[in-house]
Structures are given as structure tokens and as C-alpha cells.
Amino acid sequence: MTKISDCPLCRHTSDDVLWQNNQLRVISVTDADYPGLTRVIWNDHVKEMTDLSPKQRTDLMTAVWQVERAQRCHLKPDKINLAQFGNMTPHLHWHVIARWQADSRFPEAIWAPAPARTPEQIAAWQKQSALLTRQVAAYHDALITTLAA
Ligand SMILES: [Zn+2]
């Protein structure tokens, strides 16, 4: 297995791993603004999707689709964002991001500067995100069951 000592995704000692096998791991990211934020990380230090074999690509994307489906079922987002950059950390990983029209950056990417919001909009999102955060445990349970099947 290829590991790079200064790569944070090769070290992954502090990740909150929901499920893993010998190829990939699915981790929970705690972020009050984005309940259910999940990453699917290829275990080997691989830079691009086309560095993987077709079978490996299928295995990786199957996990991504399972995360997306579980988020849709349990968190009822308005949209799912899938992102794979690796510009800062060139180690293959997918962000699976449930989005809501009321969230702090919608319709921008979660990494974009936050658009202007009224105090009422901010309060409404805080209330909605708190409710969603309470559903994250059920989302995780369902996702783990699906991934382990
Ligand atoms: Zn790495």
C-alpha cells in the first residue's frame, strides 16, 4: 500500500471512521453548518480517478452512491453536492455534501464566502440544522448497515 508520510489522508489517525475495508474508508465530518457531511477516502495515496483500475473506480463510486442515497433518505436535503478536488491534499477523496436551500452558503459551494443573510434567515438555518443534526446518528447507522452489506 502506498503511503506518504506528510499526507494527512495517509496518516488519518484522528478520522471519525464510520466504515472501512482494505480499499477505502468512509468518515463522518462534524460541521454544524453541514449536518451529515461525509468523505469517502481511497486508502492508497492515489492522485486521480484514472490512477485506479476500472474495478477500483467502481468500488469507490459505489461507496459514494451509497453515501448519497443514505443522505437523501435520512436527511432529505434539497441537493447533494459531490466534490473531488485534491488540490490541497492530492490523495483521492470524495466529499458527499447534503445541502439545503436555507444553509449558510446555498447555492454557492460550501467553501465559498457566505452570501449575505438576514438575521431571520440565519436563525431559521440554525433551527433547521439543529433538527438535522439530531438525525445524523440514524443516517450513520443506516449508512454503516448499507456499506457492510
Ligand atoms: Zn495520502
pLDDT at 11: 84
**What distance in angstroms lies between residue 10's CA and the mean position of ligand 1's atoms?**
4
Place of cell 449508512: 143
Q: pLDDT tens digits for 64-108?
A: 999 999 999 999 999 999 999 999 999 999 999 999 999 999 999
**What distance in angstroms lies between residue 71's CA and the mean position of ligand 1's atoms?**
26
Q: What pTM, to 2 d.p., does this model score? A: 0.94
**What distance in angstroms lies between residue 89's CA and the mean position of ligand 1's atoms?**
7
pLDDT at 14: 63
Q: pLDDT tens digits for 110-148?
A: 999 999 999 999 999 999 999 999 999 999 999 999 999
Q: Is residue 29 helix, strand or coil?
A: coil
Report DSSP letters for 45-79, one per residue: ---SGGGS-HHHHHHHHHHHHHHHHHHHHHH--SE
The β-bridge partners of 38 are 28, 96
**What distance in angstroms lies between residue 109's CA and the mean position of ligand 1's atoms?**
24
Q: What domains sit in the chain, N to C, each tagged with a CATH number?
A: 8-148 (3.30.428.10)
